[in-house]
Structure 1
Amino acid sequence: MAEQRRVYASGDRVGATVRSGTRRRSAERLSVDRIVAVAIDQMRTHGYDAVTMRSIARELGTGPASLYAHVANRAELDQLVVGRVCALWEIPDPDPERWDAQLRECLISLLGILRAHPGVARCTMGMIPVERGMLAVVERLIGLLKAGEVPDQYIAWFVDVSSLFVGSVAAEEDIWRERMADIGEAPSEEETVVEVREVFSELPVAEFPLLSGMAEAMTTGTGDERFEFGVDVLISGLKALSAAR
């Protein structure tokens, strides 16, 4: 019996050592950088809504409570994710002779970055950027706008409106892609355009005299063409308002 007690006691110590070692390895895997990287990867694979502190913890081999030692909550995680992705956004040194062209290129580039990281645009919705990575690119964007002698108040509002525009376009594309994936055999873009054009063209003329006559115009243009039109409207409006001051 004494021998059995020694064996059981030894087994308990071995079990405790194994559990302790597992916790240490789990802790070694945990860091803000690792948590953010897993969140971005899961958003790309499963979409924004599928990512939770629990899903991240599961992939890292730990419990959700362990993550809160590094990230306070989901809102902070979203800030960190956007900050990490925004660090890829290259804003050039301002050229007063072509600041507007530089600004246009920057906004188009930002959409490309968000498209390359599906789900991240959803993090920006309802967010006031306070993470240092985001503020660093805002600082450079302000410098670009100041090169165009844009009034400070218009700069502040443009930073807000333009980022909301780019983020909402990317978020809508994410939602559309997820919906099409749920359908399975989703219609092609061309098929969708044809269907929508038919809906507009078949509207009763007496009730929709203008819209029914614009069926082709309403359904013409790629996503990129429509986005770049929006960018041009924003920048042209900014220049016109600045010149009027």
Structure 2
Amino acid sequence: MNQTPWQPISPAKPVRASREPLTRERIVDAALRLLVEQGYEAVSMRKVAQALGTGPASLYAHVANKKELDQLMLDRAAAEMDLPDVDPEQWQEQLKAAMREILRVMRAYPGLARAAIGQVPLGEHALLTTERMLAILKAGGVPDQAAAWAVDLIPLFITATAFEESVQGAAGVAPEDLDVFVDQLRSYFGSLDPARFPLTIALAAAMTTGASGDDRFEFGAQVIVAGLASMVPRD
């Protein structure tokens, strides 16, 4: 049917772009982006919702609260960890390799250590990480109780290392600034009363060596692994 000249032409209705549905995965993606770009304190339900172009109420249909969001971020990070297969002959080196891999992923998400403090990671990938470390420990003959406590102690050590690094990074401590601080700290130790602090003075250089880099982490890993090895029953 032809349109008569006096009939107005209805304007075409604008086509709305379909909005990508909100999912738990998208929420975790947004939270991790905020974590890396702005730090842990910026990761709130409100700010995550803003990053996704929605309101906080929409998030609660997928994530119960901030504590669950922390768990989900930790589990996403655990999914990226590539831990070695179990070899009883190499269990000590494998345990140290697993510790380095966990630290690598923690470093990839500055601020994640803050989310891990005080948490018992219960996500599937986090539990699989614990399972793999237990398998390595048991392959080495570490007693049950020692192995059980080790998979609590080891993440605490790694988290503390990553947290210290994230604090320094957030404070904008440049490598040259750290070198100046270490020099000042060494001088301070050397200025102490030798009658009261003879060993601190004598070891001032050693105590201020390896303040940056991986030296201290490798030392801590070696101490932990050697301590666990000493608990393995001898035939």
- Scaled to the shorter chain, the TM-score interval is 0.7 to 0.9
- AA partner of residue 50 (structure 1): A
- AA partner of residue 41 (structure 1): R
Q: Report the alpha carbon displacement of residue 92 of structure 1 after superposing the two structures with TM.
A: 1.8
Partner of 1:220: 209
Q: CA contact under 8 A between 2:185 and 2:208: conserved in structure 1? A: yes
For each residue in 1:147-204, what CA deviation from the matched residue of structure 2 results, as whole angstroms up to 9, or x when unmatched? 11111111110000001100111011101111236xxx78533222111111111112
Partner of 2:144: 152
Matches within 5 A, 1:46-85: 46-85=38-77
Matches within 5 A, 1:90-169: 90-169=82-161
For the pair 1:231 / 2:221, whether they are aligned, the reply is: yes
Percent same amino acid among aligned pairs? 44
Partner of 1:6: none
Q: Aligned-residue CA RMSD in angstroms?
A: 2.3
For each residue in 1:12-51, what CA deviation from the matched residue of structure 2 results, as whole angstroms up to 9, or x when unmatched? xx9xx99xx69x72xx341111111111111111111121
- AA partner of residue 241 (structure 1): M
Work out the CA distance in 2 between the residues paired with 1:144 and 1:209.
Answer: 42
Equivalent in 191, 194, 197 of residue 183 of structure 2: 194
Q: CA contact under 8 A between 1:79 and 1:129: conserved in structure 2? A: yes
Q: CA contact under 8 A between 2:143 and 2:231: conserved in structure 1? A: no
Work out the CA distance in 2 between the residues paired with 1:242 and 1:123.
Answer: 33
Work out the CA distance in 2 between the residues paired with 1:208 and 1:244.
Answer: 41
TM-score relative to the length of structure 2? 0.88
Determine helix, strand or coil for the equivalent of 2:198.
Answer: coil
Work out the CA distance in 2 between the residues paired with 1:156 and 1:244.
Answer: 20
For each residue in 1:79-129, what CA deviation from the matched residue of structure 2 results, as whole angstroms up to 9, or x when unmatched? 110100111111122111111111111101211111111111111100012
Work out the CA distance in 2 between the residues paired with 1:155 and 1:214.
Answer: 34
Q: 1:163 to 1:186 in 2, by over 3 A?
A: closer
Work out the CA distance in 1 between the residues paired with 2:96 and 2:120.
Answer: 23
Partner of 2:79: 87
Partner of 2:10: none
Work out the CA distance in 2 between the residues paired with 1:186 and 1:68.
Answer: 42
Q: Report the alpha carbon displacement of residue 242 of structure 1 after superposing the two structures with TM.
A: 2.4
- How many residue pairs match? The answer is 223
Partner of 1:243: 233
List, as ranges, runs of 4+ consecutive aligned residues in structure 1 with deviation greater than 3 Å: none
Between Structure 1 and Structure 2, the one with more helix by share is 1
Work out the CA distance in 2 between the residues paired with 1:198 and 1:111.
Answer: 31
Q: CA contact under 8 A between 1:29 and 1:60: conserved in structure 2? A: no
